[in-house]
Structure 1
């Protein structure tokens, strides 16, 4: 049996965490054991799902001194008799590589983004942010040099880590992630969603799912939606997610006079179901690694209109499963959305193509095979 310990921040409601839960459910238990170690202050709301899937979830907080973290991680690796440490800490990835090597455990370090900015209010403080930036450069550099294998969730991520192809050479690999293929909503279920908001059954709904942070470009998204309303005044926008920019986004919605057409839904556990009842997924991010949520949208029969950026260009087939425009192309994104809303057959064709694209290339079954191929290469 191959025993793998995944090291993450916590099991929050994010794309990578959701993917990891799906992998725990897919792997054959007689041959593989995957457990999860969390370096955050808590193990996260999805921890119970990981445990139900057969994983042991371990809390190992990474404090400023790192000493307690090092001791507990080493003890966990030895007592669990793990064969591989699968390290997902990105900006904090270097130290775990060093710790694992002290007990002769090989490390796979995975990167899920092209940028590794501060994510909490504390790490955004001016001096702390600068210190974290320096730490991140040193930490990632060490992980790239010393991990037995480095994976990126897209070619765009690999290119950002190693622009000239000299640092990693044969020690890198793309590890595309996968999503579940959900049941599609019926017309009655779609109408019921609209009724729950007091809207007509044929109301066009545009959806966005993502943390309320700078990377997701919510202000640009609202600008696109304003243009859509000029041509489709009955359209509505649903925003799923939480984050530090919520007050700013709420203020912008009010100032733009969009309160009647926009709903902030907070965190949701029914995202695939919600997606299948909407019409368009709008995703104008500034940068992404390999956006799982775009895969989920296509899998749910939802065309994606997003930014032409690394990662998203690999997740979405421009013109077939969605439309990609430059980050600042507000008019272009709006025009694509309007075209889909006004042409039902065109939208249906794109929905079918997107679902087939995910079934063939990014299902959880396909993703699990990719992951286990990597683990088997270590034996």
Structure 2
């Protein structure tokens, strides 16, 4: 394939805050075959109070900044973003418009239709907003909007089969539109456990439970703290490390200040491998998830997890084999945590099994290969549908 024959891909995301979507985008930007794909990234700015993935990772990926695009819904800014995207599409003339996150998915897909470029549209659901985000009225609006947007999409990608099934049950899209592409992750070198604990100021011999993720309502850090209190009643020597940030950081910080020797708030860290290396258990307490990268990374680091059974978590954690899953009951999650902390042999076996499973199933190379296959398929289908004489080149 010559340079001019490359498949042109316009990838649009609302913002590159620290989290799963940004991690996936960066993996693709760094590893897609540049001889076959002309892949360009378009994004808005990270809002105040959120960590910027590019700054945290010191990434040099080129980003085309979309004026007005970001997390918040502002009609004036949204119209400005839409008009800007239409112009950018007419200039670039992509074969594929690839959108992520709800707002960018709406603006990007509508812009592709208004631009008249005959691009194939693919939207990725890294999770969904069906549970834990909206009031019933706003949820209804979200569902109706996504149903309409699905009707102008060529493919809908989900990070797990449960996420896909939830969306189909809500009447969003048709089964034949969906493709499941699990996340792909590459974790850096895992430091020695004792060195990691020394770096974080943790006792060498105390049990340690870690939390890695955003401190936001749907992630339920309040539930994590409640589980921690229940664990401390049985294991007062336990330590809890929290790596992340978000709008609930002040509340979590206040709780941590009541027992500074027990709770360690780290903020966002570039060396997240240090957190996993220092932990005996990683916990996730969310009300809603897609396919959480923190649990994949924990597995790659050989750390067993305790998590609520939500979204596609069960597709990452093999319950009873690589970790323990439960409902939202505090006592149940605490019992799972204490079981792993007290039975070191069980925790070791689960950690080893988790490392084998996640490394095989969630490598970034597989993500890139799956995505390239999707792009090729969409491009070929688009070429077959193209009206004779109506070139998109």
TM-score (normalizing by structure 1): 0.87
1:57 is aligned, of 47, 52, 64, to: 64
| Deviation string, structure 1 residues 127-184 (Cα, Å, up to 9, x no partner) | xx89965653443222112111111111121122111778413111112111114322
| Equivalence for 1:336 | 336
Say whether the 8 Å CA contact 1:74–1:100 is kept in structure 2.
Answer: yes
Structure-1 separation of matches of 2:173 and 2:203: 56
From the superposition, tell whether residues 118 and 352 of structure 1 become closer, same or farther in structure 2 (CA, over 3 Å).
closer
Q: Which aligned pairs between 1:32-181 and structure 2 lie closer than 5 A?
A: 32-40=37-45, 45-47=52-54, 52-53=60-61, 55-62=62-69, 63-65=74-76, 66-91=78-103, 93-102=105-114, 103=116, 104-115=118-129, 136-163=142-169, 167-181=173-187
| Deviation string, structure 1 residues 43-62 (Cα, Å, up to 9, x no partner) | 97334669635x44332324
SS of equivalent residue, structure 2 residue 34? coil
Structure-2 separation of matches of 1:339 and 1:133: 38
Measure how far apart 1:351 and its partner are.
1.1
| Equivalence for 1:220 | 223
Are 2:290 and 1:285 equivalent residues in the alignment?
no
From the superposition, tell whether residues 191 and 218 of structure 1 become closer, same or farther in structure 2 (CA, over 3 Å).
closer
Structure 2 gaps of 5+ residues are 1-5, 380-393
Structure-1 separation of matches of 2:60 and 2:172: 42
Structure-2 separation of matches of 1:246 and 1:272: 21
SS of equivalent residue, structure 1 residue 4? strand
CA RMSD of aligned residues (A): 2.7
Measure how far apart 1:323 and its partner are.
0.5
Structure 1 gaps of 5+ residues are none
| Equivalence for 2:207 | 204
Say whether the 8 Å CA contact 2:17–2:46 is kept in structure 1.
Answer: no
SS of equivalent residue, structure 1 residue 238? strand
Say whether the 8 Å CA contact 1:190–1:278 is kept in structure 2.
Answer: no
| Equivalence for 1:25 | 30
Measure how far apart 1:252 and its partner are.
4.2
| Deviation string, structure 1 residues 331-369 (Cα, Å, up to 9, x no partner) | 222222222222222211111111111111001011111
| Deviation string, structure 1 residues 230-288 (Cα, Å, up to 9, x no partner) | 2222111111122222233334456xx54431122112221123212211101111110
Measure how far apart 1:114 and its partner are.
2.8
Structure-1 separation of matches of 2:130 and 2:172: 21
From the superposition, tell whether residues 236 and 282 of structure 1 become closer, same or farther in structure 2 (CA, over 3 Å).
same
| Equivalence for 1:190 | 196
Measure how far apart 1:190 and its partner are.
2.9
Q: Which moved more, 1:182-191 or 1:292-301?
A: 182-191
Measure how far apart 1:42 and its partner are.
6.5
Measure how far apart 1:292 and its partner are.
1.3
SS of equivalent residue, structure 2 residue 357? helix
Say whether the 8 Å CA contact 1:294–1:316 is kept in structure 2.
Answer: yes
| Deviation string, structure 1 residues 289-308 (Cα, Å, up to 9, x no partner) | 11111111111111110001
Structure-1 separation of matches of 2:266 and 2:327: 27
SS of equivalent residue, structure 1 residue 327? coil
TM-score (normalizing by structure 2): 0.84
Size of the aligned set, in residue pairs, is 364
From the superposition, tell whether residues 187 and 314 of structure 1 become closer, same or farther in structure 2 (CA, over 3 Å).
closer
Structure-2 separation of matches of 1:345 and 1:190: 21
Are 2:251 and 1:248 equivalent residues in the alignment?
yes
Are 2:351 and 1:351 equivalent residues in the alignment?
yes
Structure-1 separation of matches of 2:308 and 2:137: 31
